[in-house]
Each structure stands twice: as structure tokens, then as C-alpha cells.
Structure 1
Amino acid sequence: MCAGIAHHRTAMHDSAVLAWVLFAAHVAVQIIFMVRALLRPHREPSSRLAWILVIALAPVVGVLAYVLFGDSNLGRRRLARLQAAFAALPPAGEVAGPAMEAGVPERYVPLFRVGHSVSHYLPVAGNRAALLPDSASAIAAMVADIDAARHSVHVLFYIWLADGSGLKVVEALKRAAARGVTCRAMADDLGSRAMIRSAHWREMEAAGVQLAAALPVGNPLLHLLFGRVDMRNHRKIVVIDNALTYCGSQNCADAAFAVKAKYAPWVDVMARFEGPVVRQNQHLFASNWMAQVNEDLGPLLRAPLPAAEPGFVAQVIGTGAGVRYSAMPEMFCALMNAARRELVITTPYYVPDEPLQAALCASARRGVATTIVFPARNDSWIVAAASRSYYRDLLEAGVEIREYAGGLLHAKTLTLDGDVTLIGSANIDRRSFELNAENNILLYDTAFTATVRARQQVFLDASAVVSRARVEGYSPARQLWNNLIAMLGPVL
């Protein structure tokens, strides 16, 4: 009997020791990840605090979430390949000729200097642009230009669907390759997963189109050991014959956007550019291509520039893992701070950092007519809730908020005082700021800005004004939900 009691006590002791060991290990893991969150560079204090609270209050979920989302890590190998591509190419500041700030009013020069500090492209003069009427017209123009191409066609899309528009581009590339044009097509491996794994992709390859998947996912579980799966190439770039380029918000897809049809139509803005700025977009494409494919595209960027023609000053702004942290929000803040009379913004996703929210509010407070337009129905319920948590502060500052009811307003545009335009792929959210590779064009031109402003007015006329009474009428439960989701913004 005594032996039995002794055995029982030993078992209890062993269990207690094991429990304490497991508890100590559990706490150690928590502390390790808390320290990791504190040591992560380029993080706002609020983000660090949010991660520490998540790890402390929900240890298992918090640690797992940090492994999945905590570090903006592209992966050492991928980053090394991207850096090697930039090193092999002509310097970004030399691909489009010398800087031409002479035609830009002095108060706008700092904007282009901020842009230069981001990806080292200089503001260059002699550019021309046309704003396409709608998504179908943009695809039709691209197809026509591909059909007229004589030397090279380069396309890069985040989402490429096998729908009417997507297949029109597929067929145009096949036709171009068949007549001897060098065609290179790239799509994000996650955003265009179905297309890349389809027969259409294989048919393009068989026709002679050179293909590449941007940021291949591979095995997602193994990928987590080397970098985040959700760091994506969100760019939309078309460059033809080294002479013209497209920039804007449109993916290679119909406005009906079959993968999220219930939010359709997707309303985008796309512009066709000619001039030296084309070489900057070519450089951006080449860096992405060479990071995935062992092919030197440097000769395209060393070719003589065409004879100078009249045109406006423009500059490509490419952001992503290869450039400095916080580049895109700095650009947005600089534009907001430069406004004197009017600032109009359209964006589908608004989850700003604190300086950006403050800059937008300050714009309205100093008397600038400040308007921001969102879609009334957002395809991301998380972003929709987070965005609306910022409405009260914006409205109190005097910002006019409108919600577009004609579909999912996907256009990313900013016009400033009728003089300056920013157009491209970047949203005003943390994904565009920290995770996605984006491409935009900043330009100074009253005529083209008037055209973009007129398109913005079409969106404004189809939008409902969000009143303070409406926002103040949100139920406590809805306010709690919106604020809770926004609080998680620094975490996600």
C-alpha cells in the first residue's frame, strides 16, 4: 500500500514538473515573439503595442498570427534577386534622360523630389497621355497597340482572368508572337493563379510568348519559412515597343469581374502614356522580370531615347519590398500637404496610418475643398469596417466623404488644385504601404489633370454624401465593430 501511495505521489510530482516545463516553454515562446515584435524595424509604436497585446491575450492564436502576418518579409532569396536585377540594369535615374523641373511651379517641385527619393526615377518632360473612357475601352486600346507592335510587348498584371477581356489580351499576345514580336507576359502567382494554371497560359507559351509568374507561392506552408505568402505584386504595367505604356488601376479582366461578380461592375481608371516616362515603366517591368527570369533586359533601357517632343513633366513611383519603408504614405502625405484650393481622391480601400489621416484632416482644416470617394459596397468587409471607423474624424475636420453607388469604385486617383495628378495601382491602405509592389505616375499638367478631375466628377455625381448625422447614428454595436477592426489594422 505504501508503495502504491509513493508511486502515486511520484506520478503527481512528474505531472506537476511537466506542467511547469510546458508553462515555462509557453511563456518563453510568448516572450520571444513579443521581443521580436518590439525589435521589428519600421514599426509604429501602436503596431508594436497591438502585437504585444494580441500575443499576451491570445498566446496560441497571437503567435500563429505573428508567424503569418507579423513581419513584412519578402524572403532573403527573393529580395536578393530583386536587388541583383536593379544592380544589373542601368540606374533608375538615367533611363529617361535628365531631370526636367523647369516647367513645374516651385511649390510642386518638392513633390517630385519625394517621388525621386522613393524609387530614384527623375521627373522628366515631354510626356503625353490619354485617359481611356472605361474598362472595355482600355482593353480595346491595349489590344490595338499590341496588334500594332513591331518589336516588343511587355505586360504585368496582378489579376488576369480568363474572361472576355483577359482572353482578348491572350489572343493579341499570341498574334504578336506569331509575327516575330518579342512578347513577355507576367502575372502575380496568387492573384492570377487560375490563369497561370490554365490551358490559355500554356497556349501562349506554345505560341512563343515568354511567361513568368511573379512571386510564385509554391507550397504555402514551406513558403512561410522564407517569407509572407501575402506579399504580392499588385502592379498593372503594359509597355509596347519601348514607346508607350499604360498605368492605372485596371486588372486584365472584364468590369463584370467574375471572381467577385456581386460587386460588379468594377470601375477603373487607366491612362495611356507616351514620352520619356515610358522608359521608367519599362525599367520597373524589367526589374520584376529579371527577378524571376535569367534574362538581361538592360539593352532595352540603353537604347537611344526618341527625339524630344512637347509634353508635361511626369515621374514613375514604384513601391514595394525593394524600396524604403513608408514610401507610399509619405507620397500621399506630401500631396495632401501641398493642396491649397482643392484635393479630390478616389480609392476603394482606406486604412491609413496616423500621419496620413492627420494630413487629410489638416487639408480640410486649412480651407482646402477636400473630398474622398469610396465604394458604397466594398468587396472586403474588413476594409469597409475599418474605413468607416475614420469617417467621424474626417467629417469633423471638414472632409467631404462620398460613397459611389454605381459598382465597386476601384479607381485610385488623386488630383491637386487642378494641376497635379497621381494615378496608378496603390490604395490608401496598409497592404499597399507595406506588402504590395505598386506602380503609380505623378504628373504636372493642367489639361490632363482637368480630364482626370472630370472623370472624378462623374464618380462624385453618382455618389451619396455621407453626413455627420448618418455616422453619429451608427449603433453602438456597429461603432464597436468598426473601431475594433480598425484597431487591428496595425496588426494586419
Structure 2
Amino acid sequence: MASVPSFRSVRYQAVAIVRWLGLLCLFGLFTGCSSLPTIVPDLALHSDRPVQLDGLHGPLSATQSKAILDHLNSSGQTTNIFERHLALEEAIVGSPLTTDNQVQLLQNGPATYEAMFAAIQSAQDHINIETYVMDDDTVGQRFAQALIDKQRQGVQVNLIHDSLGTLSTPAAFFQRLADSGIQVLEFNPLNPLVSRKTWTLNQRDHRKLLIVDGRIAFLGGINISGVYSGSSLTRASHPQSDGSTPTWRDTDLQLEGPVVAELQKLFLATWENQKGSPLAAKNYYPPPVHAGKQVVRAIGSSPDEPYSLIYATLLSAIGSAETSIRLTNAYFAPDPQLLAALIAAAGRGVDVKLILPSQTDSWLVLNAGHGYYEQLLRAGIKIYERRGVILHAKTALIDGVWATVGSTNLDWRSFLHNHELNAVVLGSEFGNQLQAMFDKDLAESDEITLEKWLHRSLGQHLKETFARIWEYWL
């Protein structure tokens, strides 16, 4: 397998070009620069409207919804996060909280890929897949063949891939898919001459989504690439000293139930927004079935909206936290509001712990994040760096009962420029699973203490200063 630098080299050279071109917006040569929103005061007020859940047959009554939320609340830690946050989240996001779902937590590439291949092989009607990276390597070729095989069996496959994320993937790779009958859509082409809509160089599709027959879905941080072939469960404590590729550590979800229809809506909306060719008439919305007991909300964010929906709901959840905040994230370069929300939570006694990378494929983002360590540590926030792997997971757990897993990083790019996708899962049952995963990562991490950090080298200071200059574009 190629090393991390060779895997990323072409793609990140292109990213660097995009960032430099983005600076031209300062001179008005491109569209105006975005800025992160200020959450206006009325969004911080409690909503008088009760939270409503959607079941198999549509919206539940207020009494039914309250009973389900009360049960979730009573079975977890002592917290008012449901009462304080969920109505606001619903007002911000617009997508419903759905009941009757089954959620399976997936860790690392091998487990996630095998579950995805099993779902693909079972497909009878259609497969919708959306990805940032799809490499022409062993894993990419395996996916390609599985999709081609299903297309030949009469299952319609529709694929969205980001133009920048797949820049190093040969055009012949996607042409082979198209020649088999698969509908292939390049998201926001880098070449403006082939753009199907207004050319926006800096907007990228960072979502990772697989939907099979409208009944089962996968989302999270994992791309389609051979770098995920290893498992951090067996190799985490053995950093590579021989120059071999480190394991990539990621987290994903397998979902069944009514929430899949909400994810389907997001996929089809992206296809339409990108002006893709008309899709074959398939059963994209089969009748929902009872799959489990989990309450889940799908949240998709787009830079076309006034603010990132995922960003806003995460800020609100952090602001409502009463006992604990557990964040694991691959790219951490917080904006002032997120930084203030974390510090305020620690100030009111919330136990805040962050697991961040010790090594990465993006030097600038890593060092931009380091520039915030001292401020966070002085506030009482505990920081740990995951060793022996390339951390790529993006998860949050608040008060043990509000959890989110998805593609969203805690940096300016995710909140401003990317199309992202997360799922929010409520209740202590899933919260306990995510906490157990967090604890495993914690055991394989090194704590960064304030005393240790204050004695870092001058060279490290200089790296942080340089990286902070560019963090808006990272």
C-alpha cells in the first residue's frame, strides 16, 4: 500500500492551490468570503413549542413524543439537555426526530467496509452512494466491482463524488462505472468549463453516505480508500517505526428505520442541486418499518445556507451540557464561538475532554489547533492526543445521552465551505456505546498537560503562529 504522503500528495497539492486562490476573494475577484455566524440571542431562548417525534406513520402526538423523551431522559445521567436543547435543535435544523430506528456503531475500516459490502450485495432496487474520496486502489476497485455487479443485475447505482477529493483518481476509473450503466455525478467540478451551475471553487462535498434500497444507510467519516484497510483495535499501541502507513482510525454508523428516508432526501437534493441527469424511477422511499428503538435525527449542512446547521446544533448542545462533553475529532481549529462554548461549559463545572490527533495528513490544521491548547488547558479542559494512528473520527457525546457521529470536523472548512452530514442519536443506550469507544481511544492517548505544553519548543510556537494565519482556508 502507498504511504500516507503519496496517498495524499496530489490531492493536497490541489487543496493548497484552492486555498491560495481563495485568498483572492480578499480583493473581490471571487465571491465574498464567508464568516461564521453569530448565534443571535433569540436562538438561545427556550422554545415553547414541544418537541415532536416522527414514527412509522408520521408525526406522533405531543403526549407520545413526551413519553419517549421522558423515558430517554430518565434512563441516562441527570441532565436537562432534552428539555433545554431539543426544541431549539428542531427549530434550527428542520429535520424530524425519528423513532423506531436501529443504530449500529462501526469502528475502523475493515468492520465498516464489510458491513457496507454485505448491504450492497443484498440490494434489490437501488444503491445511492456519496463520497469525498474514492481511490483507485484495492479498496476502491473492490467497491467499483461490487457496484458494477449490482448494476448488471438491474439494481440502479447512483454515485456522487467530490471533484477535489477524487482529483488523484483516474478518469478511467469513473468512466468504467459509467459504461456499466451507473449514474456518476462529479460534485462541483474543479474545471469551470464543465460546471453545471455557478462555479464555486471552495465548496466541497465532504459527506460520506451509502443508502441501499432506501432501507439501510451508512454515514460517518470513512472514505473509500486503502488507508482504512488496517484496524486500530489491533495496531493502535504499536506506532510504525519502519516507515509503513499508520492505521487510520474512523467511526461510522449503520442505520435502519425511518431516518433512512431523511438521509435519502439529502442525497436526492444534492443530486438535483448539482443538476445531475434525471435518475431512473426506483423505489427510493419504501414504506418505513420498525427496525429498533433508537431516536435519531439526520442533519445535513451546506454552505448555501445562512449558517451550518450542524455547527449551530452542536453549539446549542454544548451550551446545554450539564455533566460531560466528550469530543473526538480529526481536524480541530475552533472558531471563537466554539472555543467560548467549550470554555464556558468547563467554567460551569462540565467535565470536558477532547481526543485529538497526534499525527495527521494535514500539517496546517494540526498546528492551527495547537494554537488553542493553552487557552483550553487553562480553562480546565482536558486534552488527549491519540497515538499510533491517523485519527479521522468525528464524534461528540454530551451528558451521556446526546450523541453525534458524522463527517463534520471542528474547523472553519467544515463549518463554512463543506457539505457535511451527521446523525444525532439520543439516549443512554447508544451513549454508553460511544462512551466505551471514547474510553478505548483514551487508553491509547497521551494527556497534554498545561505544564508540559508551556514548555514546548520555539519551533512549535512558530508553527502554530504560521498555521493560525491560514486556518480560515484549511
TM-score, with structure 1 as normaliser: 0.76
1:218 matched to 2:207: no
1:204 matched to 2:177: yes
1:139 matched to 2:113: yes
2:215 to 235, 243, 251: 243
Contact 1:161 1:194 in 2 (8 A): yes
The aligned runs of 1:93-492 (5 Å cut-off) are: 97-98=58-59, 101-102=65-66, 103-104=68-69, 105=73, 107-195=81-169, 197-219=170-192, 227-255=199-227, 264-291=246-273, 292-295=275-278, 300=283, 303=285, 305-476=287-458, 478-490=460-472
1:329-360 Cα offsets, whole Å, 9 max, x none, are 32221121222222110111111111110111
Displacement after TM superposition at 1:156 (Å): 0.4
Counterparts of 2:298 and 2:92 in 1: how far apart (Å)? 10
Contact 1:263 1:408 in 2 (8 A): no
Displacement after TM superposition at 1:271 (Å): 1.1
1:60-93 Cα offsets, whole Å, 9 max, x none, are 99757555787358xxxxxxxxxxxxxxxxxxx9
Counterparts of 1:142 and 1:178 in 2: how far apart (Å)? 19
1:21: which partner in 2?
A: none
Counterparts of 2:55 and 2:190 in 1: how far apart (Å)? 33
- Residue type at the aligned position of 2:94: H
Bigger Rg, which one: 1
- Residue type at the aligned position of 1:469: E
Q: Please report the RMSD computed on the Cα atoms of aligned residues, expressed in angstroms.
A: 3.0
1:32: which partner in 2?
A: none
Structure-2 change in CA distance of 1:359 and 1:167 (3 Å): same
Structure-2 change in CA distance of 1:389 and 1:441 (3 Å): same
- Residue type at the aligned position of 1:164: T
1:271-290 Cα offsets, whole Å, 9 max, x none, are 10001110111011001112
2:48: which partner in 1?
A: none
Counterparts of 2:152 and 2:134 in 1: how far apart (Å)? 21
Contact 2:25 2:33 in 1 (8 A): no
Counterparts of 2:378 and 2:186 in 1: how far apart (Å)? 46
Displacement after TM superposition at 1:300 (Å): 4.6
Displacement after TM superposition at 1:327 (Å): 3.1
**Match of 2:226, SS?**
coil
Counterparts of 1:415 and 1:363 in 2: how far apart (Å)? 14
1:149-201 Cα offsets, whole Å, 9 max, x none, are 01110000001111222222111111111111111111101101233x43332
Displacement after TM superposition at 1:369 (Å): 1.6
Counterparts of 1:72 and 1:376 in 2: how far apart (Å)? 31
1:202-257 Cα offsets, whole Å, 9 max, x none, are 2222222111111112148x98x954412100000101011010011101112358
Moved more, 269-278 or 130-139: 130-139
- Residue type at the aligned position of 1:390: Y
Contact 2:109 2:228 in 1 (8 A): no
Structure-2 change in CA distance of 1:454 and 1:334 (3 Å): same
TM-score, with structure 2 as normaliser: 0.79
Contact 1:257 1:264 in 2 (8 A): no
**Match of 1:437, SS?**
strand
- Residue type at the aligned position of 2:176: E
2:8: which partner in 1?
A: none
- Residue type at the aligned position of 1:243: R
Counterparts of 1:408 and 1:108 in 2: how far apart (Å)? 34
Structure-2 change in CA distance of 1:61 and 1:372 (3 Å): closer
Counterparts of 2:222 and 2:368 in 1: how far apart (Å)? 24
Displacement after TM superposition at 1:128 (Å): 0.8
Contact 2:220 2:251 in 1 (8 A): yes
Contact 1:96 1:277 in 2 (8 A): no
Bigger share in strand: 2
- Residue type at the aligned position of 2:218: Y
Bigger share in helix: 1
1:116-155 Cα offsets, whole Å, 9 max, x none, are 3444211111111111242112111111111110111000
Moved more, 268-277 or 467-476: 467-476
Segments of structure 1 that go 5 or more residues without pairing to the other structure are 1-59, 74-92
Structure-2 change in CA distance of 1:69 and 1:354 (3 Å): farther
Contact 1:123 1:315 in 2 (8 A): yes
Contact 1:119 1:323 in 2 (8 A): no
Counterparts of 2:55 and 2:307 in 1: how far apart (Å)? 23
